[in-house]
Structure 1
Amino acid sequence: MKEQDPDIDPNVPSVARMYDWLLGGIENYQSDRAACSELLKIAPSSREIALHNRAFLRRVVGILVRDYGVEQFLDHGSGLPTQDNVHQVAQRIDPDCRVVYVDNDPIVLAHGRTTLDENRNTAVVSADMRDTDEIFGHQAVRDLLKPGRRTAALFVSVLHCLPDTGDARDPRAVVRRTAERLRELGPGNLMVICQLVSDDPAIRRQVTELMARSTGGKWGRVREKEEVRAYFEGLDILEPGLVDVIDWRADPTAPLPAKRPEEWVEWGGVARLRD
C-alpha cells in the first residue's frame, strides 16, 4: 500500500488498517501487520473474531432492513471499505436506503469518499464518534437522515476503542447521547452495539496494553460482558438478547464454527429505543 495523505503515518498502526489485514485486505502497512502478529500471539483467534464480526454486520443490516423496516443507518467507526459494506447490503434490499458513515481515520475517509462518490444515498462524515452533536449537526447527516424514517445507529466493534473517562466522552455517555438524538428523529429507532469482551483478566490486560501501545493511545479497553450490558440500559433488547455475535440470529442453513474463539468474543446485540 502506498502513502497517499500527509495525515497518514505508515509507521503507527491504525485499528482500521489492522482490522483490514485481519479480514484479508490490502489497505494496510507493515506496521499494521507487525501489530497484528503481536496480537495473534496473545489472542490467536483474532482473525476469526474479525470475520465473525463482519458476518454479523452483514446479517444484522439485512435483517433490520428486511424485517424491521429500517430506511436509514448511521455507522459509527465504519472502518475501511471492504466487501458487503452497510450501504451495499442495505441497498440490495432497499435501493433507497440511506447510509452515513462516521470515522476520523484519514485513510478511511479518503477511501470511503472515493468509493461512495457516485452514491447519492450514502455519505462519509469526518468526525470522532464521541462528538454526537457535531455528527448530527453535519450537513450530510441532516441531508440524508430524515425525521420519520426508521433509523438504526451502529456501534459495531468500535466501543473498545474508547477509554473509560467518566465524563461526556465515556462510551456509555456516547451511547446515551446518540439514543437521545435518535429519539428526535422519531419513534421505533434502533441501536446495534457490540464490542470485544473476555472473561480472562490477563487477556483483557494484555490486549489493551498492546493496542494502546501500538496505536499511540488510540484505544480503550477489552471489557467484560456486564459492562457491555450497561450500554443497553433504558433500551428494549431484541431477541436473542446479548450474545456472542456468532449466535445473533445465525443463518440456520450455515454451519456454525467447529471451534469457538476461547480468548475473547465480540459480544452485543440489537435494541429498540423506548418512546
Structure 2
Amino acid sequence: MSNEDGHPRSLGEHDQVDISRANPARMYDYYLGGAHNFAVDREAAEKVLAILPETRTFAAQNRAFLQRVVRFLVGEVGITQFLDLGSGIPTVGNVHEVAQAMNPDCRIVYVDHEPVAVAQSRRLLADNENCAVIHADIRQPQSVLAHQDATRLLDFGSPIAVLMLQVLPFVPDSDDPPSIVAAYREACAPGSYLALAHSLTPEYWPGAVSEAIELYTTSTHPLCLRTPEQVAVLFDGYDLVEPGVVFTAAWRPDRAVTQQEAISSRAVAGLGLLTSG
C-alpha cells in the first residue's frame, strides 16, 4: 500500500480491510498484546482465550522461537538476508529488530496479504532502507519472488533464510503446502535455510480445543492443523539442524525447559539447511 511514488501511505478505503470478520493475523497481534486489531478481532480472540487460555502462551513461545532462530542465523551462521512469509502485524521483537541489532547490514523482506499488517509494517519501516514489505499471497511464490522489492533487497544467488512461522496452518491441503515450500526452496542458493513453525492437531491441545478451532472457521482464514510428522515432511530437500523438528519451546532454548513447558507450545518448529540447489 503505497502512493504512486512508492512511499508508504495510510490505510485507506481501497485497501479492502474486512472488518466484518475476525482475521487471524490481527487476533494473533491481540494475543501478543499489540494494538493493531479491531473490535471483531478482540471479540473472537477473547472467545478463544476463554476456551483455551494457553493460546497466549502459544503465541509468546512462537515469538520467542522467531527471536532465537534469527539470532542463531545471524550470529552463528552469518545469514544477512531474510524472507519472512506471512509476517503478520509488526510487534516488539520482529525479525528486523533482532537481526539488525546484531548486524545492521541485514536485509529483510516481509510478505503478507493482510492490509492492516502491510500498512502498519510499511509505516514502521518507512525509514529502514534495508527492509521492505510486500503485499502478496505467499501461495503465489512466483509473484512474491519476482516482486521488485524482493529482487532489490535479496540476492537469490547467495544464502537466504526463508521464514514460515505459523503461516501454513492457514494454508489448506488443497493448496498443496509442500509444493509452496518447494517453490521457495528452488529459488534459493545452497547454504540457505528454512525456519518453520506450525500448530499441532487437537490431541496436542488441552480442553475443548475443537470449540476454539471452530471459532476460526468464521474468520477470514480457517485453521488447518497438522501432526509433527506432517510438519516434518515440509522440510523435504533440507537437512534438519539439531535438534530437528521439536516442540517450539524446546528448539535451542535460552534456558532448560521442562517437558511440560515444551508440550505447552502446542506447536513444533525446526530449521532446515539447503545443501544443494
TM-score where L is the length of structure 1: 0.89
Q: Which runs of 5+ in 2 are unaligned?
A: 1-9
Match of 2:226 among 223, 227, 248: 223
Count residues in correspondence.
263
Residue 110 of structure 2 aligns to a residue whose secondary structure is strand
Residue-by-residue CA offset, 1:220-265 (whole Å, 9 max, x unaligned): 411111111110122100001111110110013xx64795376761
d(CA) in 1 for partners of 2:229, 2:259: 27
Would you say 1:243 and 2:230 are equivalent positions?
A: no
The aligned runs of 1:146-225 (5 Å cut-off) are 146-165=155-174, 169-182=175-188, 186-198=189-201, 200=203, 205-213=210-218, 215-216=219-220, 218-225=221-228
Residue-by-residue CA offset, 1:6-27 (whole Å, 9 max, x unaligned): 3223231111110011001121
Would you say 1:99 and 2:105 are equivalent positions?
A: no
Q: Which runs of 5+ in 1 are unaligned?
A: none
d(CA) in 1 for partners of 2:70, 2:29: 20
- Maintained 8 Å contact 2:247/2:266: yes
Residue 260 of structure 1 aligns to a residue whose secondary structure is helix
d(CA) in 1 for partners of 2:265, 2:63: 16
Amino acid at match of 2:12: D
Aligned to 1:274: 275
Overall identity of the aligned pairs, in %: 37
- Maintained 8 Å contact 1:45/1:262: no
Shift in Å at residue 38 of structure 1?
Answer: 2.1
Aligned to 1:5: 12
Aligned to 2:60: 51
d(CA) in 2 for partners of 1:71, 1:149: 10
TM-score where L is the length of structure 2: 0.88
d(CA) in 1 for partners of 2:264, 2:92: 27
Residue 102 of structure 1 aligns to a residue whose secondary structure is strand
Amino acid at match of 1:209: E
Would you say 1:111 and 2:120 are equivalent positions?
A: yes
Residue-by-residue CA offset, 1:76-99 (whole Å, 9 max, x unaligned): 000111111101110111111100
d(CA) in 1 for partners of 2:107, 2:264: 36
Aligned to 1:142: 151
Amino acid at match of 1:232: F
Relative to structure 1, is the Cα distance of residues 235 and 206 closer, same or farther in structure 2, using a 3 angstrom cutoff?
Answer: farther
d(CA) in 1 for partners of 2:204, 2:273: 31
Would you say 1:68 and 2:74 are equivalent positions?
A: no
Relative to structure 1, is the Cα distance of residues 258 and 171 closer, same or farther in structure 2, using a 3 angstrom cutoff?
Answer: closer
Residue 200 of structure 1 aligns to a residue whose secondary structure is helix
Cα RMSD (Å): 2.1
- Maintained 8 Å contact 1:198/1:204: no
- Maintained 8 Å contact 1:42/1:207: yes
- Maintained 8 Å contact 1:69/1:150: no
Residue-by-residue CA offset, 1:101-122 (whole Å, 9 max, x unaligned): 0000000111111111111110
